[in-house]
Structure 1
Amino acid sequence: MDATLFELCRRYADAHVSQCGVAATPVAGLTIVRAMHPGELQVAIARPLIAMLLQGRKRVTTGASGFEYGPGEAMVIAADIPTTSQIVQASQRHPYYALVLEFDPVILRELQEVVPALPTKTPAIGIQPFDRDVTDAARRLVGLFDQPQALTLLGEGLRRELHYWLLQSVHGPAIRALGAVDSHAARIGRAVAILRKEYMRAVRVEELAGAAGMSVSVFHHHFRAITTLSPVQFQKQLRLIEARRELLAEGAGIARTASLVGYASVSQFTRDYARMFGTPPGRDRRIAKAEA
């Protein structure tokens, strides 16, 4: 692992980290995550990104696949997919640090016109050691955070360079699909965008298939292949993730929370919540109220 990249990220995160453990940077889509102790399970629908782990360890599960990775390794998620993650190694003396870049589909689309396609296929999520060229570009970009004029002039070019080297990496074929206008990943992405925005209402599968430009049967096949879930399961996870945010951040009542995220039955909401998070919603509400 690059010691200079680690030190640059550590200093910036320590000076700018928020209460939720995320340090926003001046570069679009680029953040640094810091944690001082192992955390609870976090469930989310992850956007396409690369997470370069600088210190600590993290465990990530999606579908039937599980990964644990540590310093010097990067996790690439090349699709909107549900993940369960947990920081498993972090301490006051040795905090968890990770540099995270969300992929920009516009940049990927532009680069695809000049970057030759690789003939291999790779899964939508995977762990690999840091790529030397990606690490070098990241180090030069983070090094400009305290040089505003240089960052204004050079930052966007370095962000494009990061995307270029990622397309050239082992995960290039999976990442490439994010920028392809008519790829299956891009089509399913249009349906996922609807679910993200309209998760509270009952969205008909015909509407989603139409947005993806597919028949219902073909849409079901590709949606599950890319996200590991059916559209109904995907929407349910979105609802429950938002419900947990409401309970923990706002301390909202259970019945009100169930209604806010689109559940007609409080008992069904309670069962689904406990099945997904391993604890009933009442416990999380009590934790939120105690902390408040």
Structure 2
Amino acid sequence: MSIETLAQEIGKIAQNDGDHQTGIPQLSIHRRSASTAPMHCIYGLGLGITAQGGKQVTLGEQVIAYGPGQSLLTTVDLPVVSHVTKASLAQPFLGMMLRFDGSALLQLATEMALPPVSREQVSRAISLRPLEAPLLDALTRLVQLLSEPELITPIAPLIQREIMVRLLSGPHGPYLRQLVASGSPSHQIAQAMTWLKQNFSRDVLMNELAASVHMSPSTFRQHFRNLAGMSPVQYQRQLRLQQARQLMLNQALDASTTAARVGYESASQFSRDYSRLFGAPPQRDIKRMQHLSLADAEPPAP
């Protein structure tokens, strides 16, 4: 299999621009005919592949550009800025995202005889590595399976298991094994991140959160920044603001109501933080986002 073959298979399914969910719940495919504006989003545990074109992801101060022949793994929920950098009508951006279940990865990791990872070192929760031929082959077969919907139920789990095994044993392996190793700093920080995601609107003392994962405050902050590329406070703030943006877009809430909904006591502080992250005050940003959505919905000019 080649990366061109994967691009062809994705193109057969994603014949129009957009983000396409598939008959395999964990798999989505993506197509763009032009470069896009930077978009704030959250990447969860999963593998992103660019089969054609180019993409850029920014995590904190880290900027990652990747294209065909590379694979991007994220091991925890990360607030990132993502955009397509290379795409045209003749050569559209074509990509895929495959999400994983953490418990399934943990089960596989315990079954495999894998070398141990450092229990002290904390690596960044995002990893860019060359796309190895066996992994590319498995990913291509998974996309090809979409053309045989009657076979998805019995076969897709087998291919997904193969993909997880190859990730655990390949260049991305240390990042995944560090995440699932019980008692490791990465595992403890991931637990704290999960709590913050589920309780982002609550006021929390970071010292108490550090104690909950059996770390000193200074060690907790250091490991958190190493893994997430930002401090715990910045992480919680981005979760709040991204949720706020979705509430205003999807439920037409005003800024004051939204601020209180996501945990802000001060509407003015909310507006300042929002402007700093998204580049415009809430009302102006939402109008801009709505305009972009309408423009995306319109057919391209002849």
Q: 1:220 touches 1:230 (CA, 8 Å); kept in 2?
A: yes
Q: Distance in 1 between matches of 2:4 and 2:246?
A: 36
CA shift for structure 1 position 192: 1.1
Of 40-49 and 121-130, the range deviating more from structure 2: 121-130
TM-score, structure 2 length as denominator?
Answer: 0.85
3-state SS, counterpart of residue 145 of structure 1: helix
Percent identity reads: 34
Q: Distance in 2 between matches of 1:97 and 1:189?
A: 30
In structure 1, the partner of 2:160 is 159
In structure 1, the partner of 2:50 is 53
Task: Note the alpha carbon deviations across 1:168-198, whole angstroms, 9 max, x for none.
Answer: 2212101212322332222212211121111
In structure 2, the partner of 1:86 is 83
List gaps (5 residues or longer) in structure 2. Answer: 295-302
Q: How does 1:170-249 map to 2 (within 5 A)?
A: 170-249=171-250
3-state SS, counterpart of residue 36 of structure 2: coil
Of 21-30 and 231-240, the range deviating more from structure 2: 21-30
TM-score, structure 1 length as denominator?
Answer: 0.88
In structure 2, the partner of 1:144 is 145
Q: Is 1:5 equivalent to 2:6 in the alignment?
A: yes
CA shift for structure 1 position 160: 0.7
Q: Distance in 1 between matches of 2:161 and 2:234?
A: 35
In structure 1, the partner of 2:131 is 130
Using a 3 Å threshold, how does the CA distance of structure 1 residues 26 and 183 change in structure 2: closer, same or farther?
A: farther
Q: Distance in 2 between matches of 1:8 and 1:271?
A: 45
Q: Distance in 2 between matches of 1:226 and 1:31?
A: 26
What amino acid is aligned across from residue 184 of structure 2 in structure 1? Answer: S
1:117 to 110, 115, 135: 115
Q: Distance in 1 between matches of 2:230 and 2:220?
A: 12
Q: 2:27 touches 2:96 (CA, 8 Å); kept in 1?
A: yes
3-state SS, counterpart of residue 234 of structure 2: helix
Q: Distance in 1 between matches of 2:187 and 2:233?
A: 19
Q: Distance in 2 between matches of 1:11 and 1:183?
A: 43
Of 248-257 and 128-137, the range deviating more from structure 2: 248-257
Q: Distance in 1 between matches of 2:214 and 2:87?
A: 45
What amino acid is aligned across from residue 9 of structure 1 in structure 2? Answer: I
Task: Note the alpha carbon deviations across 1:61-84, whole angstroms, 9 max, x for none.
Answer: 112221111222222223333322
Q: Distance in 2 between matches of 1:138 and 1:289?
A: 34
Q: 1:247 touches 1:284 (CA, 8 Å); kept in 2?
A: no
Using a 3 Å threshold, how does the CA distance of structure 1 residues 231 and 22 change in structure 2: closer, same or farther?
A: same
Using a 3 Å threshold, how does the CA distance of structure 1 residues 13 and 287 change in structure 2: closer, same or farther?
A: same
In structure 1, the partner of 2:38 is 41
Of 70-79 and 190-199, the range deviating more from structure 2: 70-79
3-state SS, counterpart of residue 229 of structure 1: coil
In structure 2, the partner of 1:278 is 279
Q: Distance in 1 between matches of 2:273 and 2:85?
A: 25
Q: Distance in 2 between matches of 1:251 and 1:90?
A: 32
Q: Distance in 2 between matches of 1:34 and 1:125?
A: 23
CA shift for structure 1 position 25: 2.1
CA shift for structure 1 position 54: 1.0
What amino acid is aligned across from residue 116 of structure 1 in structure 2? Answer: L
Kindly tell me the number of residue pairs found equivalent between the two proteins.
288
Pairwise CA RMSD: 2.4
Q: 1:249 touches 1:288 (CA, 8 Å); kept in 2?
A: no
Q: Distance in 2 between matches of 1:30 and 1:245?
A: 22
Task: Note the alpha carbon deviations across 1:25-44, whole angstroms, 9 max, x for none.
Answer: 23242211222322222123
Q: 1:60 touches 1:85 (CA, 8 Å); kept in 2?
A: yes
Using a 3 Å threshold, how does the CA distance of structure 1 residues 138 and 61 change in structure 2: closer, same or farther?
A: same
CA shift for structure 1 position 118: 6.3
What amino acid is aligned across from residue 50 of structure 1 in structure 2? Answer: L
CA shift for structure 1 position 151: 2.1
3-state SS, counterpart of residue 90 of structure 2: coil
In structure 2, the partner of 1:287 is 288
CA shift for structure 1 position 233: 1.2
Q: How does 1:90-101 map to 2 (within 5 A)?
A: 90-101=87-98
